[in-house]
Amino acid sequence: KQEVTQIPAALSVPEGENLVLNCSFTDSAIYNLQWFRQDPGKGLTSLLLIQSSQREQTSGRLNASLDKSSGRSTLYIAASQPGDSATYLCAVNDLDAGNMLTFGGGTRLMVKP
């Protein structure tokens, strides 16, 4: 059974810092991996999707990498801003899971002005 872990569970940084969020998964037979952002009491917004054949994806100040063999992904946020404060979730789509996403518990990020 796929298990997804995110470290750290919570992170507080001053504005302007570059930061890295970590995601690890136990079964490397994945179809893709997605990073989502969730604001309090709201739904999820997809940030980046990395196919299993890809190493990384970039969107603006965000860069996500994938090392399938070691079961790891990182989300890099450059020049953090207070508006980046949210919970960041990673989710893997297993090859044999019938298109079900398995989510990690999330990292709660606070960027202080």
Partner 1 sequence: DTGVSQNPRHKITKRGQNVTFRCDPISEHNRLYWYRQTLGQGPEFLTYFQNEAQLEKSRLLSDRFSAERPKGSFSTLEIQRTEQGDSAMYLCASSLFGGAGEKLFFGSGTQLSVL
Q: Between 69 and 99, whose beta carbon lies closer to partner 1?
A: 99
- Residue 95 structure tokens: 């090859």
Nearer to partner 1, 47 or 111 (CB): 47
* CA dihedral over 72, 47, 88, 78, signed as positive or negative: positive
What is the smallest separation between the CB atom of 92 and partner 1, expressed in angstroms?
11
Task: Give me the residues that bind partner 1 (CB under 8 A), please.
Answer: 4, 32, 34, 36, 41-46, 49, 51, 89, 91, 93, 98-106
Closest approach of Cβ 43 to partner 1, in Å? Answer: 4
Q: Is 66 exposed, middle or buried (0-12, 13-18, 19+ CB in 10 A)?
A: buried
Can you tell me the distance from the alpha carbon of 68 to that of 70, in angstroms, rounded to the nearest whole number? 5
Q: How far is the CB of 50 from partner 1 (least distance, A)?
A: 8
Non-local CB neighbours of 87 within 8 Å, separated by 6+ positions: 37, 38, 39, 40, 106, 107, 108, 109
Judged by beta carbon, residue 41 or residue 113, the one nearer partner 1 is: 41
CB of 52 to partner 1, least distance (A): 10
Is the Cβ of residue 53 or residue 113 nearer to partner 1 in the bound state?
A: 53
